[in-house]
Structure 1
Amino acid sequence: MSELSRQRPQFRNINAFKDLTTYRLPAAGWVSILHRISGALMFVLLPLIVWLFDTSVSSEISYERFSSAFSAGIGFVPGWLFKLVVLAIIWAYLHHLIAGLRHLYMDARHAVTKQFGKSSAVVTLVLSIGLTVVLGAKLFGLY
């Protein structure tokens, strides 16, 4: 069989309705998408982050109000839901920081190989989720 008569692979665009459910995104793709989501989440929740910081350092009375938000809640928002929102902020910060450091390292060292991209993406996911679980356990009073 000659080289010219062999079939070449055909590349096509994916169909969003048929192929998206079966498409397997690599770990680096998940890290990239989650990096964007975590940045957007931090941007959207920035007023809450500023309020949390301001309330926690302004005075002893405002710190008590800050502390009671985690146990009793604020207005119609119960304390556990408030803790979940803060846990989402913690995850967003940790993931964005670790993924950003990953990108900086890859840019500085020119370490753009498929194997390093995969392994560093897995490390990023494990670190960000693991640290979030540890800090979430502290936030919910498990230790």
Structure 2
Amino acid sequence: MSKTTATRARPLSPHLTVYRWPITMTMSILHRITGSALYVGTFLVIWWLFAAATSPGQFEFVHGLMGSWFGRLVLVGYTWAMMHHLLGGIRHLIWDTGHGLSKESASRLGWATLAGSILLTLAIWAGYLMMG
């Protein structure tokens, strides 16, 4: 084999610490993650319904678990995932009509999806806590 000598330094590929993720890419990744989280979280809802149909003791166990600080944290995360996935779906429906496809509009829709999911989650849980 022949030897080749580099006459100039080769460029380095950018890596995650250098590359700035666009909001549209971040929202796409979060949409997939929240879809998976909803799939897993639905099993928790099924478990709760199954416990309610089985026996009072089983229901008290599941209800107590979901009423703990960790259970509430999981439920808040499930609520956020549901709201984020819902708004992401609406964003995709808007795109399917041919609107909001410019770079600026897509970025605005991405930020609106994130902000809306957080605000809706806070509103849902504020309403829940105010009702008792």
Q: Shorter chain as normaliser: what TM range?
A: 0.7 to 0.9
After TM superposition, the structure 1 = structure 2 runs for residues 1-143 of structure 1, keeping only pairs within 5 Å, are 13-15=13-15, 20-54=16-50, 58=53, 65=60, 69=63, 73-74=64-65, 79-139=68-128, 141=129
**Partner Cα distance (2:110, 2:77) in 1:** 20
Identity across aligned pairs (percent)?
33
Cα deviation code 1:2-35 (max 9, x no counterpart): xxxxxxxxx97423xxxx1232212212211111
Structure 1, unmatched stretches of 5+, are 1-10
**Partner Cα distance (2:24, 2:13) in 1:** 20
How many residue pairs get aligned? The number is 120
TM-score, normalised with respect to structure 1: 0.68
Contact 2:100/2:109 (8 A) holds in 1: no
Amino acid at match of 1:130: L
Cα deviation code 1:33-91 (max 9, x no counterpart): 111110111112221022234556x59x58x738x82xxx33xx761111111111111
Structure 2, unmatched stretches of 5+, are 1-10
Aligned-residue CA RMSD in angstroms? 3.0
